[in-house]
Amino acid sequence: MDKKKLKKNMGEITRDIMVAFLIIAVIMLSLYSYCGIWPPMVVIESGSMEHPPSMTEHRSYVGVIDTGDMVFVKKVNASYGEDVLTYYQGEEMGHSTYGSYGDVVIYRPNGQKYRGNGDPVIPIIHRLVIWLEINTTHVNPNFNGIDYANYSFDVPSLEIYDSTAWFNITNYGYRQDTVTINLGRVLRYYEAGGIIPHSGYITKGDNNPNHDQDSWYEPVLPEWIIGKAWGELPWFGLIKLWVNGADTSRAPSNSWTGLFGTIIILLVIPLIWDYIIPKTRKFLGKRKNTETEEPITGLDEQTPEEIDPGKDENTVNEEVSEEPDLEPPSSTTTSMETEELPEMDLPSEPIVPEKE
């Protein structure tokens, strides 16, 4: 290959790479500026938020949080009544995200960043169900220790106050389930862990049978919430999960189909832009030039308008009829005049020169 051509090609490749990195940098900086958090997205590693059509069919949908999706995260004021809405509030106000009422948040379970062995705690992305307000009206301030027996909860959205009983939220979510929240069990969880009871959100994965605070985690304090989920980039998180060696077998099969199809489209677009479009334009340009070219014709094939566009057919016919009639020349005459030569006597016999 010619060195000059190779150098030119390498320069074009380097330029394209730099432009691509610049575009990515601008996009990431814009996301960080809007989200107020870094990184501004998370990869979904489980199917707890999926909406499968049945218990036996595993399928993903655009607009629903599925395994392998990348979800953007926005920093918000997560205090009750501020920048986030629970399922119950969303149902009243008609506010829905990812196929159900209320907001989806990313939070640290029990507020932990690291486990006892130093491993990081993976944040959970689930939907806010309802807010529980701790009630200390009957708590004995002189009690030696924590007076668990006299703590209770208020549930402002349902107008429940000073209660340790259980209640149901019916027709919940895309499956129209019944979610049972046992306030007494939540208090017993505090007692078992030696934790001072506090207010917080009840959270639940759309595809989970029970809520997170049903013997697993404490009600979620606003400061444990990393951010609110918004938007998604479907399927592309599967690449990260695969590179990190995570179990991708739980991802719906149509998520892989969507990923490979999107990658193929992204690879074909530059080919269309750099090769097919210029070739098409060149072909159409040649065809247009061919169609606009006028054929060269003789006078016999030309119409009167082609002979003189300023004159119509009647005018041409009149001019032709005014020309004098010409007699056709005879076959023994020519168009040139000739002089008559004098008559000469020709000898009847050939002349033979005399010998000397």
Q: Give the model confidence (pLDDT) of 91-142 as tens digits.
A: 999 999 999 999 999 999 999 999 888 899 999 999 999 999 999 999 998 9
User: What pLDDT is stored for residue 57 in this prediction?
Assistant: 82
Q: Give the model confidence (pLDDT) of 227-247 as tens digits.
A: 999 999 999 999 989 998 888
The residue ranking higher by pLDDT, 207 or 329, is 207
Structure confidence at residue 321 as a pLDDT band (50, 70, 90)? very low
Structure confidence at residue 22 as a pLDDT band (50, 70, 90)? confident
- How far is Cα 223 from Cα 84, in angstroms, rounded to an integer? 13
Structure confidence at residue 156 as a pLDDT band (50, 70, 90)? very high
Which tokens belong to 17?
A: 């790479």
DSSP state of 310: T
User: What pLDDT is stored for residue 38 in this prediction?
Assistant: 81
CB atoms within 10 A of CB 261: 12
Q: Number of C-alpha atoms within 13 angstroms, CB side, residue 243?
A: 6
- How far is Cα 107 from Cα 27, in angstroms, rounded to an integer? 25
Q: Which residues, at least 6 apart from 156, have a Cβ–Cβ distance to it below 8 Å?
A: 131, 133
**Taking a C-beta distance cutoff of 8 angstroms, is the pair 106, 76 a contact?**
no
The pair phi, psi for residue 87, each rounded to 5°, is -55, -45
Q: Which residues, at least 6 apart from 144, have a Cβ–Cβ distance to it below 8 Å?
A: none
Q: Number of C-alpha atoms within 13 angstroms, CB side, residue 201?
A: 31
Query: Could you tell me how far CA 197 lies from the centroid of its own chain?
Result: 45
The residue ranking higher by pLDDT, 336 or 139, is 139
Instruction: Tell me the one-letter amino acid at 312.
Output: D
DSSP state of 73: E
Q: What is the mean pLDDT of residues 58-66?
A: 91
**Taking a C-beta distance cutoff of 8 angstroms, is the pair 284, 278 a contact?**
no
User: What pLDDT is stored for residue 287 in this prediction?
Assistant: 66
* Residue 79 DSSP SS3: coil
**Taking a C-beta distance cutoff of 8 angstroms, is the pair 105, 225 a contact?**
yes
Q: What is the mean pLDDT of residues 195-208?
A: 96
Closest-CA residue to 187 (of 123, 124, 139, 115): 139
- How far is Cα 168 from Cα 159, in angstroms, rounded to an integer? 13
- How far is Cα 152 from Cα 136, in angstroms, rounded to an integer? 7
Which tokens belong to 333?
A: 């005459």
